[in-house]
Chains A and B, each alone.
Chain A
Amino acid sequence: MGVSAQATAVSDLTGSVADGFGDPVPNAVVSLWRGGSATGREVVTGRNGTFTFPGLPPGRYDVRAEALGFHPMVVRGIAVRPGSGADVPLRLRAGTPPVTVVDTMAAPQGGPEAQRWLEELEFDAPADARTLREVLGVVPALDREMGALGLPSGYTTVTVQGVPFRSATVSPGRQDPATLLTAGSMGLVRVAPLGPSGALGLGAGGEVEVFNPYLRSGESELFAAASFEPLWAGRFETGEGLTPSSLWLQGRTALDLVPDSVRVVVGADFHHVERPRPPLFTQGAGPTGPGLEDSDVVSAFALLDWDLGGGSRFDFGARVGSRPAVKSPFPLSWPGQHSGLEAQDVTVGTGLVTGVAEQATLSIRGGFTRSARSGGEESWPLDPSSPLLVDVASGDRAGVAPQARGEALRQGIFGSVGVGLDAADHSLSAGLEVLRSSHELDPLAGSSLWIGAGDGFTSGWVGAAARYENSLGARDFAGTHFAFSVRDVWRPNANVQLELAGRWHQESLPVEDLNPSAAWYSLTGIVPGEPEATATGIGGHLGLDWLAGNGAVRVTAAAGATVDETDPWLFAEALALDGETDHLRVLVDGSGSEPWPAFPDPADGRAAPSLLLFPESRDLPATVYASGGISTRQAGLTFGVSGIFRRTENLARRVDLNRTSVPSGTTEAGRPVWGMPALQGNLLTEVPGSSRRFQDFDHVWAVLQDGWSQYLGVTVSVERREDDGVQLGAWYTLSRTTDNLPGLWAGRPELAGTTAVPGDEDWSEGTSDLDVPHRLGAVLALPFPLLEGGVLRSRLQLISGRAFTPGFRSGVDLNADGIAGNDPVFIPGDGVDGLPDRWDCVTDSRGAWLERNSCRLPWIPYLDVGLSLALVRLGGANLSLQVDAFNLLQAYDTTVDDALFLVDPSGGLQTDGTAQLPSLRTNTGLGGELFDSRPGRMIRFGLRWGGGR
C-alpha cells in the first residue's frame, strides 16, 4: 500500500545541501516531486545551504539537488508524515553537470583511425535509464561498435569515482546514489575524443559524455553553433579555400501535458559536417574532385513521464538516430565494398514503478533496442593516381592492409523486475533481468591486400591478397542473458556508508549451431568436447565511504569483481569458419593479373578452409578491481589521492593450430621460420600454404581464454571551488596498462597468441598498446572580467605519446607463418646502423628481442578554451553566446612508421642460420609520419537559449 495523500495536515520538508566535506553549498537548485510525479516545486538554498518546502501534504517525495560544479543528486521516497515533516541532508559530489565524464582509460590514443571513428560514433543509452548502471550499459555497446569497426572491443573501461566499469552487466551494487539521475535523464551518450570534441570535461584520456536532457517543467533549451577549422592540418586537404566546418543544432523542451501528472520531454540534434574529401575517392560514383564532403548526423528523442497516482509512475522513452557513411581514406577496401560505415539506431524503453507497501517498491521495466551498422551502399572506386596510394607503393613503403568488417545488426529485448526495501539503516534492493539479443554479424567481410611494389597500382604490381571465399555473409544468432542481483546500502551513522552487492549472471549461446569440421578432428586426433551452452559468472562489490576527522578527510574504498559476456563477434566468427569457408591467398606476380584495384584471379591462388574452434569450456571474461582514495580540504583547496587497480582475465586470444609441426629453418638469432618465404618486391610473405601442417586447411584457430589486461593507476589532484566563481583543478595520473593482447587495438585478434620469441614464453606480455603512463590535466574556470555573467573556461592536458613496437612493414611476414605483423625484431649486438640517437628504446636492446611497445611517441598536448556570455533574458530564459576554441595547440595523433627494418628487394633470399630470409636494411624514417589526419584548430560560435541557470 502506498502512503495516502488525503491527510489534511501539512508539514514542512527541510534540508541542507553540502559538499563532500560537509560544507554548505549555497545557490543550489532543489526540486521536489511528490511520489514520483513529474512536476514539482523548486527552491534555492541560502548561504548556509539550507532549504525549506513549507506546507506539504503528507506523502512520499523525491528531492533533487543540483548545483554548479556538482553532480546532481536525487533522494527518493522521503516520507512526510502529518505534523512531523522531514529533514533531508544532501551531500553533493563534485562534478560538472549536466555532463558526466567517464574515463575510457586512454582509449582514443590508438591512432587517427580510431580517433576518427570515435569522433563519429554515437551510442545510445537506454532511453529509460534512471541509474548509473543503465547509463553504463552503453559501454558494451561501445565495445561492440568498436569491434564492428575493427577496433578493439571489450576494452573500454569506464571509471566513475575510481571504480572501473567495463560491462553492460554492471552490478547494481555499483550504483552510486549520489549520481542517480532522474527518469529519462539519459538521452544521448556520445563518445568524445580529445581535441575538437566540444567537451570540456576533466577526464584523462578519452571521455564519454552523458548529456542529460533533464529539464524542469516548461523549460526549453536551444543551441545553435557553427564551427570552422581554418587551420586544418591534414595532409589530404584538397585545395585552397576548403575550410572544414560544421553546424550544430540542438533543441529540447519539456511540456507538461497534464499538470502534476504527465510530462513530455522531446529533443532533437542535427549535426552537419563538411570535411575535405580524401583524394583517394576522386573517381567514380558520388562527388568527385576536390571538395568538401557532407554528412548529416541526426537524432531525436522523446520521453514521457506519467504520474499514475498512488505512488505509481509510468515512463516511456524512445530515441532514433542515423548517421550516413562517410568516405574515409583508411582502411582501404576493395572497390565495391565498403569504405564507410553508416548507422541507424532505435531504442525504446518503458517502465512502471509502484509502491507495494510503505517502504517497498516494485518496478517492472522492458524495452527494445536495435542497432544497425553497415558499409556504405555506394561503391567508391579509388583513384589509382592518388598520392596516398602512390605513397604506399613507392619506395620502401610496402603494405596496405584493408580491413572491412561488414554488416552488423544487433537487436534485443530486455526486461527486468525489481523490488526495493528501505528498513532502518539499510536500503535493500534486488532484481531479476533478462535480455534476449540477436546478432547478424559478418566477421569475414572484406579483403586484404599487401603491396610490395607496383607501377602506380595500375598494372604490374607485386604483392599478396587474401579474402574469404564461399562465405555465406552475416551469421545470425541469438543469445540470452539472465541476471539476478541484490544490493544493500548500510548507513550505520551519518559519516559512514557501506555498500555490499552481488550479481549472478548467466549467458546462453546457441552452441548447437556450431558445426566443427569432423575432418579436422579426425585427422588431428583431437576429441572435441561438447561446447557449453551456458556460462555463468558471479560478481560482487564492496564499497566504503567514510567522512573522518570531523569531516576534514574523506576516505573511499571499493573492491569487487565483474563478469562480462562473450564477445558476439567471436561467436559469429566461429559460426562462419566451419570448414566450408575457404581462405583464399594469392601471390600477385604482376605479370598476368588484372590491373589493380581488381582482385587477382582466384585461380592463381590457394584456397583452403579456415576453422575457428570455439572454446568448449567457456570462461567469461572476469574483472577484479580495487580502488581507494583520500581527500582533504585545506585553505579552500581540496587535495586528493586515489588509486585504481583493475585486472581482467579470460580474454580471448587465439593460436594457429595448423602451423607445421617443426619450422623449416631457424635464423641465427633463433627465430623459427615456418613456411617458405616469398619475396614480393619489398614485401615478404609465405608461399601460400607452405606453413600449413595439414594442407587441406588454412588457419585453424583455437580460441584461448588466457588473455589478460591490467591497469594500475594513481592520481593526485587539487581543486579549488569557491563562491567567487573561480574554479581551478589540476590532476596528474601515473598509470601502467599491461596485457598480453598485441594487435587487439589494430583489430587483428590473430596477433594475440601467435607470437613467439626464442627463450621468451610469451612475447605478447608487456606494455599494452593502450598504455598511457602520464596524464596531466588542468582546468580553469573564472568569471569573464569584462562582462557580467561571463565565464571563461580552459582545459590543458598533456598525455604521453602512444607506445609502439618497432618492427617490420605492414604485411611483412618474416617468419612465414601466414600471419603478417607478429614478428618481433631482433636488435643485433652491434646495434642498428643509421638510426637517429633518439631511439634509445631500440639501441638499449642490443643483442635482444625488442619488447612490445618499447618505444613511445612524444607527448601530446591539448588546449581548449571556451567563453560563455549571457546576452539577454529572453522569454524567461537566458540567451547566451558561447565561443569555444578547441585544440589550440594543434595536437594530433598520427599513423607512424613503425618499421625498424625494411626488406631489401634487391638482395633476394639469403641463408640466415638454417632459414631463408631476405636481407634487411634499417629504416631511418622510424617514427616518422606515415599518414597525417590531424585535425586543425577549431573555433565554434554558438548561441544557447534556455537552461535557466
Chain B
Amino acid sequence: MIRQGMAGAFAPGKGWLSGQVAVGLLLLGVAACESGTANPPVIDGVASVGGVVYLDIDGSESLTGTDEPVEGARVRVTLPASGTEVAADTTDDAGEFLMEEIPVGTVEVELDSVTLGDTLLAVPVDSARFTLGAEQTLGIALGVTYPQLSLAEVRTAAAGIPIFTQGVVLNPRGQAPGGAVHVVGDSVALRVLVPPAVLAAIGDSVRIQGRVGTDLGQPALLDARIFRIVPGARDVDPLTPSMGEAAAAGDHGLDAALVEFTSGSVVSEETVPEGFLLIVTDGTDTLQVRLRTSQGFINGGIPSGAQILRLVGLLVPNAGEDTWSLVPRNTLDVRLGPPPGTSPS
C-alpha cells in the first residue's frame, strides 16, 4: 500500500512568510499553479514468521517424528548485520511460536540463547537469513539439542550436564544390575541408567540423552533415554582382558565393558540374595562373577576348580569397593567344565 496524503500546497516553512501568505498570493495572484506534495511511499507491508522449536532427538538436524517439541524457547527475529531484534515469541507446550506484523525486509530468525540455558544448543542451519515479503508467512522449524559427546567424553564430563551420546548396546535393560544398559563406543563403555520398558537389544546403535552423573562410584548416564537409531547394527565383540585387569577395571578403562574369558577356573562359590557369587581366577587375580537368579542362574553347587570354557559378562563396579564384578547377561554367557580329573557333569 502506498500511504499518500495531500499536504498543503504550500506547507509552512521557516521562511519569513508563511505558507498561508503564499496561498493568499496565489489566490490574489493571478492564477493557480498546480501543486501538491505526496508523502513518501511507506513500506508498511508486514509478514509473519511461525513454526516449531524441537529437540533434535535423533540428531538429524531436521524435524522428524522422533523429535519432541520444546516449550518455553524464545525465538527472535533480528536484522542482519546489526542483530537488532524486531520481533520475538516464546514457544507453547506444543513447541509452536508465531510472530505477526513483522516489518518486511531481510531478517534472521534465531533462538534466544538465554532461554535455552547453558545446556541446550541451537541446531545449526545452513542459512538463518530470510527475505520477508509483504503478506508472506515464513514457516520455520528450529531445532535444539544438547551437547553431543562421545562416551569417552561423557566419562570425563562434569556431573549434572545433559548431553547426547551414541553407542552400541551391550545388553538389554534387565540383563545388568540396577536397570543399567551398557553401551560401548569405540573402546569405551558406559553404564546408562534408564527407566523400565526401554527397548534396546544387543547390537542396537542407539542415541542416548541423559545427565552425566556417577553410579556405584563410576561415571554413568542418569535419567537416560535411549533412542534406537539402527536396530541390530552390529555384533558386539567382548574384550579379553585378564581377570586381574577386569577386577581392577577402573584402572584399565574397562568399566562397564563387555569382557570374555575362555580359561581359568572357579575358586569358590557362595550364595547371595541375588543368586550365586563365583570367585574365579585365571592366575592373575581373582574375579567375582555374579550369577543372578533373575537371569536364569538357579542351579548352584558349582564345584571348586571347575574349568572356565567361556565366561562373558559386563564389568560392574562393586558398591563401596574399588573392584569390579563380572555380570553375565544370561546363561548363554557362561560355560563351565568339570574340574580337571573329573567327568563332565
- The interface of chain A, by Cβ under 8 A from chain B, is 502, 522-527, 529, 535-542, 559-563, 613, 615, 617, 619-620, 622-626, 645, 647, 649-650, 655, 657, 660-665, 675-676, 687, 689-690, 692-696, 702, 704-706, 708, 710, 712, 736, 738-740, 753, 765-766
The answer, yes or no, to whether B17 is at the interface (CB within 8 Å) is: yes
Q: Which single residue of chain B is at the shortest CB-CB distance from A645?
A: B17
Known: A526-B45, A624-B25. A706 touches B37 (CB 8 A): yes
The answer, yes or no, to whether B129 is at the interface (CB within 8 Å) is: yes
Bound form: Cα–Cα A88–B9 in Å: 46
Shortest 8 CB-CB contacts between residues of A and residues of B: A525-B134, A540-B31, A525-B45, A664-B82, A690-B81, A622-B33, A661-B103, A540-B30
10 A-B pairs besides A617-B36, A645-B25, A694-B105 with CB distance below 8 A are: A615-B38, A624-B22, A647-B10, A649-B10, A649-B37, A650-B36, A662-B84, A695-B80, A708-B10, A736-B16
- Our pick among A524, A624, A706 for the contact of B29 (Cβ within 8 Å) is A624
Residues of B within 8 A of A524 (CB): 43, 45, 104, 133-134
Bound form: Cα–Cα A704–B131 in Å: 27
B34 adjacent to A622 (CB under 8 Å): yes
Residues of B within 8 A of A660 (CB): 79, 82, 84, 105
Bound form: Cα–Cα A208–B44 in Å: 48
- Our pick among B15, B31, B86 for the contact of A561 (Cβ within 8 Å) is B31
Quote the shortest CB–CB distance from B187 to chain A (angstroms): 48
The answer, yes or no, to whether B197 is at the interface (CB within 8 Å) is: no
A619 adjacent to B34 (CB under 8 Å): yes
Residues of B within 8 A of A712 (CB): 15-17
Residues of B within 8 A of A647 (CB): 10, 15, 17, 22
- Say whether chain A's binding surface is mostly helix, strand, loop, or mixed: strand
Bound form: Cα–Cα A527–B131 in Å: 19
B79 adjacent to A662 (CB under 8 Å): yes
Residues of A within 8 A of B22 (CB): 624, 647
A-B pairs with beta carbons under 8 Å apart, 17 shown: A522-B134, A524-B43, A525-B44, A539-B31, A540-B29, A540-B31, A559-B25, A560-B29, A560-B31, A563-B33, A619-B35, A660-B84, A664-B83, A665-B84, A693-B105, A696-B106, A705-B36
Q: Which single residue of chain B is at the shortest CB-CB distance from A529?
A: B2
Quote the shortest CB–CB distance from B315 to chain A (angstroms): 57
A687 adjacent to B81 (CB under 8 Å): yes
A710 adjacent to B105 (CB under 8 Å): no
Q: Which single residue of chain A is at the shortest CB-CB distance from B34?
A: A537
Residues of B within 8 A of A739 (CB): 13
Quote the shortest CB–CB distance from A649 to chain B (angstroms): 5
The answer, yes or no, to whether B158 is at the interface (CB within 8 Å) is: no
Known: A525-B44, A526-B2, A710-B15. A650 touches B79 (CB 8 A): no
Known: A525-B43, A664-B82. A736 touches B30 (CB 8 A): no
The answer, yes or no, to whether B7 is at the interface (CB within 8 Å) is: yes
Q: Which single residue of chain B is at the shortest CB-CB distance from A650?
A: B35
Known: A650-B35, A660-B79, A665-B82. A561 touches B30 (CB 8 A): yes
Residues of A within 8 A of B106 (CB): 692-696
Bound form: Cα–Cα A219–B12 in Å: 56
Bound form: Cα–Cα A53–B301 in Å: 162
The answer, yes or no, to whether B41 is at the interface (CB within 8 Å) is: yes
Q: Which single residue of chain A is at the shortest CB-CB distance from B8?
A: A649
Contact with A along B41-74 (1 / 0, CB 8 A): 1011100000000000000000000000000000
A710 adjacent to B17 (CB under 8 Å): yes
Quote the shortest CB–CB distance from B136 to chain A (angstroms): 9
The answer, yes or no, to whether B125 is at the interface (CB within 8 Å) is: no
Bound form: Cα–Cα A246–B22 in Å: 47
B31 adjacent to A538 (CB under 8 Å): yes
Residues of B within 8 A of A675 (CB): 81-82
Quote the shortest CB–CB distance from B109 to chain A (angstroms): 15
Known: A624-B26, A626-B25, A662-B84. A613 touches B41 (CB 8 A): yes
Quote the shortest CB–CB distance from A483 to chain B (angstroms): 14
Residues of B within 8 A of A704 (CB): 37-40
Interface size on B, residues (CB 8 A): 47
The answer, yes or no, to whether B14 is at the interface (CB within 8 Å) is: yes
- The interface of chain B, by Cβ under 8 A from chain A, is 1-2, 7, 9-11, 13-17, 22, 25-26, 28-41, 43-45, 79-84, 86, 103-106, 129, 131, 133-135
A525 adjacent to B135 (CB under 8 Å): yes
Quote the shortest CB–CB distance from A359 to chain B (angstroms): 27
B34 adjacent to A536 (CB under 8 Å): yes
Residues of B within 8 A of A765 (CB): 13-14
Q: Which single residue of chain B is at the shortest CB-CB distance from A735?
A: B16
- Our pick among B14, B29, B36, B105 for the contact of A766 (Cβ within 8 Å) is B14
- Say whether chain B's binding surface is mostly helix, strand, loop, or mixed: loop
Residues of A within 8 A of B32 (CB): 538, 561
B40 adjacent to A655 (CB under 8 Å): yes
Bound form: Cα–Cα A526–B14 in Å: 33
Q: Choose among B2, B36, B41, B134 the residue with the greatest number of A CB atoms under 10 Å from its CB.
A: B41
Bound form: Cα–Cα A660–B105 in Å: 8
A526 adjacent to B7 (CB under 8 Å): no
Residues of A within 8 A of B30 (CB): 540-542, 559-561
Q: Which single residue of chain A is at the shortest CB-CB distance from B86?
A: A662
Q: Which single residue of chain B is at the shortest CB-CB distance from A704?
A: B40
Q: Which single residue of chain B is at the shortest CB-CB distance from A504?
A: B31
Quote the shortest CB–CB distance from A544 to chain B (angstroms): 12
Residues of B within 8 A of A522 (CB): 133-134
Bound form: Cα–Cα A16–B142 in Å: 97
Q: Choose among A527, A613, A657, A661 the residue with the greatest number of B CB atoms under 10 Å from its CB.
A: A661
Bound form: Cα–Cα A738–B44 in Å: 32
Quote the shortest CB–CB distance from A532 to chain B (angstroms): 11
Q: Which single residue of chain B is at the shortest CB-CB distance from A708?
A: B13
Bound form: Cα–Cα A539–B32 in Å: 7
Residues of A within 8 A of B35 (CB): 619, 622, 649-650
Q: Which single residue of chain A is at the shortest CB-CB distance from B80?
A: A695
Residues of B within 8 A of A694 (CB): 104-106, 131
- Our pick among A560, A649, A655, A738 for the contact of B9 (Cβ within 8 Å) is A649
A702 adjacent to B40 (CB under 8 Å): yes
B104 adjacent to A561 (CB under 8 Å): no
A527 adjacent to B9 (CB under 8 Å): no
Q: Choose among B9, B31, B43, B82 the residue with the greatest number of A CB atoms under 10 Å from its CB.
A: B31
Q: Which single residue of chain A is at the shortest CB-CB distance from B136?
A: A523
Bound form: Cα–Cα A559–B32 in Å: 12
B1 adjacent to A527 (CB under 8 Å): yes
Q: Which single residue of chain B is at the shortest CB-CB distance from A693?
A: B105
Bound form: Cα–Cα A535–B33 in Å: 12
A661 adjacent to B14 (CB under 8 Å): no
Residues of A within 8 A of B2 (CB): 526-527, 529
A561 adjacent to B26 (CB under 8 Å): yes
Residues of A within 8 A of B29 (CB): 540, 542, 559-561, 624, 626
Q: Choose among A536, A624, A675 the residue with the greatest number of B CB atoms under 10 Å from its CB.
A: A624
Q: Choose among B11, B103, B106 the residue with the greatest number of A CB atoms under 10 Å from its CB.
A: B106
Known: A706-B11, A738-B13. A525 touches B104 (CB 8 A): yes
Residues of A within 8 A of B9 (CB): 649
Known: A524-B45, A647-B10, A708-B10. A620 touches B34 (CB 8 A): yes
A695 adjacent to B40 (CB under 8 Å): no
Quote the shortest CB–CB distance from A257 to chain B (angstroms): 45
Bound form: Cα–Cα A766–B14 in Å: 6
Residues of A within 8 A of B33 (CB): 537-539, 561-563, 620, 622-624
Bound form: Cα–Cα A622–B33 in Å: 6
Bound form: Cα–Cα A560–B103 in Å: 46
Known: A539-B33, A692-B106. A617 touches B38 (CB 8 A): yes
Residues of B within 8 A of A693 (CB): 43, 103-106
Bound form: Cα–Cα A690–B78 in Å: 12
Q: Which single residue of chain B is at the shortest CB-CB distance from A707?
A: B37
Bound form: Cα–Cα A858–B49 in Å: 59
Q: Which single residue of chain A is at the shortest CB-CB distance from B9?
A: A649
Residues of A within 8 A of B105 (CB): 660-661, 693-694
Quote the shortest CB–CB distance from A708 to chain B (angstroms): 6
Bound form: Cα–Cα A495–B90 in Å: 85
